[in-house]
Amino acid sequence: MTRRVLVTDAEDFVGPAAVRRFHDGGDTVVTHTVPLDTRADVAALVADEGPFDVVIANLDAPITVAPITDHNDDITSRLFGRLVNPLFWLLEECLPSMYRAGWGAIVVPTSATAIRSSSHPIAGYEVARAAQMQLVRSAGREAAAHGVRVNGIAPNFIENPSYFPPETVGEPEFQESLRREVPAQRLGRGEEAAAAMWWLASDHASYIFGAIIPTDGGWTL
C-alpha cells in the first residue's frame, strides 16, 4: 500500500532527508515549504492535500542565542509561533482522519537540547522544543486507543541546512568541539535521522506510542 506522507518545512531542519527517505521507500510525499503561521494555513493544507497516512511534523525556527534576561516577548512568541502552535494545529487537523481510518503515524523531530541543555544560551529554543516533546507524549497517549501512533525524535549534531550547514561544519573549532562533546565523534547524517523517523512511521514500530528517540550520537548520555 502506498502511503500519503506530509513533510512540513520540507526544505529546512531534517525535512530534506525525510523527503528523500520516504520517497525512496515508495511513499507519495507531499512537501510544504513555508511556515505554518495560522490555524487556517494548516486547515487549508490538509483540505487541499490530505488526508495523510503519515505526517512528519518537521518545524524549524532560527535559534536566538541570548541570555534568559534578554528573551523578550518577541523572541519567545516567535519561537512558540514556529515550533509549538503549528504542532497543535497539525495534530488537530490530521488526527481525526487517522482516527476514522484506525491507523496512521505522526512523527515530530524535536531537539536533544530539550533533554540536555546546550552550552550556548538558547533557553527559548530549548523550552519550545521541550513543549513539543510533552505534546508528543500527551498526544501519543490519547491517540493510542485509536490505533494511531504519535512519536518523536530528538536530534542534535545532525547535518541539516538550518543548524549545521556546511560552512559551520567546516570550521576547525566546530570539528574540535564535535570530537569533545559527541561520543560518536562525528556529525550524524541527515539520512540517519530520517531512518529513525521512517522506522517510527512504519509497522515495525506498531507498539510504540508517545516515545522520543534521541538521535544525537550519544550527546545526551
220 lies in a domain?
A: no
The torsion region of residue 153 among left (phi > 0), alpha (psi -120 to 50) and beta comes to beta
154 lies in a domain?
A: yes
Per-residue pLDDT for the chain (221 aa), expressed as one digit of tens each? Answer: 799 999 999 999 999 999 999 999 999 999 999 999 999 999 999 999 999 999 999 999 999 999 999 999 999 999 999 999 999 999 999 999 999 999 999 999 999 999 999 889 999 999 999 999 999 999 999 999 999 999 999 999 999 888 888 888 888 988 999 999 999 999 999 999 999 999 999 999 999 999 999 999 999 99
Question: In which domain, by residue range, is 155 found?
Answer: 4-215
What pLDDT score does 161 carry? 87
**What's the number of domains the chain is made of?**
1
Residue 53's CATH number: 3.40.50.720
72 lies in a domain?
A: yes
What pLDDT score does 119 carry? 86
Q: Provide the whole-model pTM.
A: 0.95
